[in-house]
Chains A and B, each alone.
Chain A
């Protein structure tokens, strides 16, 4: 006798004898054949079954139901198991019910529209709360959380110096090197200085910094505040009489707004240094003269363009992060979702606004 499950039907075809081990591990090979038995049986004999578990008991039970056979020769254990599971009926689904495709399409569309509507209301409410809290702080400046503000500036600004510096330096190198290749075709490689200086101060310095800060700090805001909401820390603050807006949101938003100005300028500076390194090594422009040429070829309003955009981008990154964090409700999965939302929305908005700024500044004559 093998270790598997076996069965035999006697010559008259009325008596089914199961033998061997009827376990979850042995049932697969005989299951289909047992289900295929369609004649009426009088008895199902379990006396030769050695080991049985609930799966074996279930097979015997459903056979008995399907063929009308009576279970005989069951051991004490087998009978106990059969009794325990006899409340369950055969057949049935385990997957969740799904509406038809037609319904689901409209359901999903409706859900999105509704989410957009509620999202707008929440965003406006958040903005209102933020302005109210800011107004309160203006009237009671002593309630401003200086410590939190300084701490956030350190996290957003100082801690990001290395990564933003490296990123900008490399971008400067890439622009200078790629620009020089093209400009050399006109014998105008000295214009690389104009290219690097203007594009980094006007556009790339601030834009790349905003993207980096959104990824580094915007996501952190959403995750921190979201986790605090889940652990009811935000509710605890409210009951003690601390406004979460004042304690959590305003210091973060102000810190990122302020630090974006410094980081944007720093980033542009590092990119120019990267460009100067390429000039020295590949174009034969000495490092010092590359830097002094910048002063001559880059109009001062390019710096203003960058510095006007920087705090606006910072405000967007900070507000989005905090807003998404405050929206977290329910479970930990939400934290991940809202953090992703914060980063995606912040970067998207920053790039769209940057396009508007580009057109605007050109039209006001700062071309």
Chain B
């Protein structure tokens, strides 16, 4: 058995489904090096508008490798449009977008295909294909990009991806309609992770989940980010998510990103929307909750115990 004959890349893969030819040169789908640069996503001078309505004007944003970047902004500030622009679902009016150092705005389409299998996207409602089981949903991107993988391995990949996303084993062969909202999000995440992406886009992952489910999803995101070495672009309204797992937060307002920084630094800024957002009643509650969590880790010290008592009383009086 000589391995060399099996690594001959020019050889057409037998039994490949019809989709295999769609991309022509198979090498385009192959990438061997993880991205080592500092900024996997670079957006410069992005302008988007729908008719008269301007969404983005000269927006710039850089996402650091290995961070969880939270994106916040009021309704209609174009958080989702920004994400759609980066992943190529929305053609921007003007501006330059680079992902993994390749330009998506003026690169040729073949190059974009080479980037597409290096990111995963979780849409707000999960966007699972309703006629396929969860496991088959995970297999869809695998079949599309790597039709040469044997079906036995394909099934195994689907199974461990589903379990990696925190779903029970039985969920693999269930249809999306049989799952609860939280499970659908996890199944969507499993599909987003199908190709072992380096970049993960999450659009309001905790919206519509109960607080327990939301907290569990946050933990899962953090864990997966650490384990798989992901860079995460996370759109959210959830203040707890921002405090708990985001390394930095980008604030969208006035058609641009007005600030990108850690939450404590953002709170020092003197922008009315930021102040209202982080220092409003909900923002403070989330902050208190996080402070309590931190303190509970140090229960052996009397200072911490007293502080918890004080904070609990404070929270109790407000309620």
Residues of chain A touching chain B, judged by Cβ–Cβ distance below 8 Å, are 2-9, 20-21, 23-33, 35, 50-51, 53-55, 58-59, 62, 77, 80-81, 84-85, 87-88, 90-97, 331, 333
B94-149 at interface with A (beta carbon < 8 Å): 117, 130, 133-136, 138-139, 142, 145-146, 148-149
Q: Contact check: which of A21, A33, A94 meets B172 at CB < 8 Å?
A: A94
Residues 1-19 of B at the A interface (beta carbon under 8 Å): 1, 3-4, 6-9, 13
Q: Across the interface, do B136 and A95 meet the contact criterion of CB distance under 8 Å?
A: yes
Partner of B196, one of A3, A24, A29, A35: A24
Pair B196/A94 contact, Cβ less than 8 Å: no
B89 within 8 A of A: no
Which of B30-38, B208-216, B281-289 lies at the interface? Answer: B30-38
Q: Quick check: A96 and B164 within 8 Å, CB to CB?
A: no
- Chain A hits for B174, CB < 8 A: 96
Q: Which of B155-163, B291-299, B307-315 contacts A (4 or more CB under 8 A)?
A: B155-163
Q: How far is B30's CA from A6's CA once the two chains are assembled, in angstroms?
A: 16
Chain B interfacial positions (CB closer than 8 Å to A): 1, 3-4, 6-9, 13, 29-34, 117, 130, 133-136, 138-139, 142, 145-146, 148-150, 152-153, 155-161, 163-164, 169, 172-175, 177, 195-196, 227-229
Distance (whole angstroms) from the CB of A122 to the closest CB of chain B? 22
The answer to whether B3 and A8 touch across the interface, beta carbons within 8 angstroms, is yes
Complex Cα gap A2–B27 (Å): 13
| B32 CB contact (under 8 Å) in A25, A30, A81, A92 | A25
A279 CB to nearest B CB, Å: 52
Q: Contact partner of A92 among B6, B117, B172, CB < 8 A?
A: B172
Q: Is B150 a contact of A31 with CB atoms below 8 Å?
A: yes
Contact of B146 among A4, A24, A84, A92 (CB under 8 A): A24
**Known contacts A53-B196, A92-B172, A94-B136: does B148 contact A29 (CB below 8 Å)?**
yes
A26 touches B156 (CB 8 A): no
Cross-chain contact A94 with B133 (CB below 8 angstroms):
yes
Are B30 and A55 touching (Cβ within 8 A)?
no
CB distance from B29 to the nearest CB of A (A): 6
**Contact present for B227 and A81 (CB under 8 Å):** yes
> What is the count of residue pairs linking A and B with beta-carbon distances less than 8 angstroms?
128
A88 vs B175: C-alpha distance in the bound complex, in angstroms?
A: 20
A90 to B160 alpha-carbon distance, docked (Å):
9
Tell whether, in the assembled complex, residue A4 and residue B7 are in contact, meaning their CB atoms are under 8 Å apart.
yes
- Could you say which residues of chain B place their CB within 8 Å of the CB of A91? 156
Tell me which of B142, B145, B196 has the highest count of chain A C-beta atoms within 10 A of its own C-beta.
Answer: B196
Q: Look across to chain B and name the residue whose beta carbon is closest to the beta carbon of A29.
A: B6
Majority DSSP secondary structure for residues of A touching B: mixed
A92 B155 Cβ-Cβ under 8 A: yes
Q: Could you give 26 example pairs across A and B, Cβ below 8 Å? A: A6-B4, A8-B3, A21-B32, A24-B196, A25-B145, A27-B153, A28-B148, A29-B7, A29-B8, A31-B149, A31-B153, A33-B1, A50-B32, A53-B228, A55-B196, A58-B160, A77-B229, A84-B227, A85-B164, A92-B169, A93-B172, A93-B173, A94-B135, A94-B139, A95-B136, A333-B130
CA distance A80 to B224 in the complex (A): 11
What are the residues of chain B within 8 A of A59 when measuring CB–CB? 153
Q: What separation, in Å, do the CA atoms of A72 and B227 have in the docked complex?
A: 19
Residue of A6, A55, A90, A94 most packed against chain B (CB within 10 A): A94
The answer to whether B7 and A94 have CB atoms under 8 Å apart is no
Q: Hey, which chain A residues are within 8 Å of B163, CB to CB?
A: 85, 87-88
Min distance, Cβ A69 to any Cβ of chain B, angstroms: 17
Pick from B7, B8, B155, B196: contact of A5, CB below 8 A.
Answer: B7
A85-B160 CB under 8 A given contacts A24-B196, A31-B149: yes
Q: What is the bound-complex CA distance between A317 and B220, given in angstroms?
A: 53
Q: What residue of chain A has the Cβ atom nearest to residue B118's Cβ?
A: A25
CB pair B3–A80 under 8 Å, yes or no, is no
In the complex, A23→B150 CA distance in Å? 14
In the complex formed, the residue of A with least CB distance to B133 is A96
Q: Are B227 and A30 in contact (CB under 8 A)?
A: no
- Report whether A27 and B149 are in contact in the complex, using a CB–CB cutoff of 8 Å: yes
Nearest to B148 among chain A residues (CB) is: A28
A69 to B197 Cα, complex, angstroms? 29
Q: How far apart are the CA atoms of A261 and B156 in the complex, in Å?
A: 64
- Find chain A residues with CB under 8 A from B134 CB: 94
Q: How far is the CA of A339 from the CA of B204 in the complex (A)?
A: 32
What B residues does A62 contact at CB under 8 A?
Answer: 156
Closest chain-B Cβ to A65's Cβ sits at a distance in Å of 11
Alpha-carbon distance between A84 and B226 when the two chains are bound, in angstroms: 11
Chain A residues, Cβ within 8 Å of B175 = 96
- In the complex, the answer to whether A25 meets B160 with C-beta atoms within 8 Å is no
- Is B159 touching A92 in the complex (CB atoms < 8 A)? yes
| CB–CB A4/B9 < 8 A | yes
- 20 new A-B contacts, CB < 8 A, other than A27-B153, A77-B229, are A2-B9, A4-B9, A21-B32, A24-B146, A24-B196, A25-B32, A25-B117, A28-B148, A28-B149, A29-B8, A29-B148, A51-B32, A53-B228, A81-B227, A81-B228, A88-B160, A92-B172, A94-B133, A94-B158, A94-B159
Which residue of chain A has the shortest Cβ distance to B160 in the bound complex?
A: A88
